[in-house]
Chains A and B, each alone.
Chain A
Amino acid sequence: MSPGAHVRTQGTRRSYLIGLGYAVILTLASFWASSTDVVYPPGVPILLGVLAIAQMGIHLVFFLHISSAPDQTNNILALAFGIFVVGLLVFGSMIIMAHLNHNMMPMDRLMQMQR
């Protein structure tokens, strides 16, 4: 195809409505999960994380039309790299700060040393 050639329209109304349906279910599930007694409490953050990632995936597929089409390959590679950087930033920061926090002298001892 030459530059400027007409690209077939992305997505259809169905795609947006299906995405909306899944997104609503996942959102309501998240809100339910945060206040339920049914799930083992330490597992709730993981459940929320899974629901959030699932919903992000729904958005990417149904709204942003990420797919395995050849035109989308570069977008998928860029997205994968982006996820890598985000993971590094967020989990790296949390791990490093938790480690530093663990190695810090307790605050009351620290204050004592200042006197």
Chain B
Amino acid sequence: MSAAEQALATADAVPLSLRGPAPTRVVAGYGFWLFLLSDIVIFAALFAAYAVLSGETAGGPTAADLFDKRHVLIESACLLASSVTCGFGSLAVQSGDRSSTYSWMAITFILGITFLSLEVSEFSHMLSIGAGPTRSAFLSAFFTLVGTHGLHVTLGLCWLIVMLLQAATLGFKPMVSRRFFCFGLFWHALDIVWIGVFTIVYLGAHF
């Protein structure tokens, strides 16, 4: 610990409220947390709609008819693995290791694309058998909720590409490092929302 940090650690240290602004990284992280919470409020509204409408199948296909657990398990595995590889990528960014950053983030990207293609294949199958969002309120709620999550994943992957380009052209400046940190928060938050999705939508279907 430096002398300054040791001084702060003593009992009659300067109180937290008088120490001046926090480091930019901490403030940026907090701001992004607030954005993530607003995003989670959007998902909460969509979950609420799904919860209310999940039984309104209008004589059409029900959840038990449509959802395949193995498919969902593979999707969940992809997203969870991508969260871990994103975490390793974040560590590489912090230590300024370019090649590790590229490799880990590339794997994250590939896992994200795999998740998306599985989801798109499920949606197109449902559309082809007439179980699209216009069939019933249950299906409208399903497509809106899961589709919005998929849209967030897509935008996250676009953001990841931009971040990798920024790392390549600007290097690991503090600004780029902060942005990678925010991307990491976003990506982990998407996995948290997915936990809700697979539990409530897919596993909750069999009741």
Interface residues of A (CB under 8 A from B): 1-5, 7, 9-13, 15-17, 19-20, 23-24, 27, 30-31, 33-35, 44-45, 48-49, 51-52, 55-56, 59-60, 63-64, 70-71, 74-75, 78-79, 81-82, 85-86, 89-90, 92-94, 97
Contacts and interface: CB of A to CB of B under 8 A. Distances in A.
A63 B195 CA distance: 14
B99 interface: no
Contact of A71 (B22, B24, B87, B95): B22
B20 interface: yes
Interface of B: 5, 16, 19-26, 29-30, 33-34, 37, 40-41, 44-45, 47-49, 51-52, 69, 73, 76-77, 80-81, 83-84, 87-88, 90-91, 94-95, 174, 185, 188-189, 191-192, 195-196, 198-200, 203-204, 206-207
Contacts, number: 130
Nearest to B80: A23
Nearest to A92: B48
B154 to A, nearest CB: 21
Given A7-B25, A75-B30, A89-B45, A27 B80 contact: yes
Contact of B33 (A20, A33, A79, A86): A79
Contacts of A48: 199, 203-204
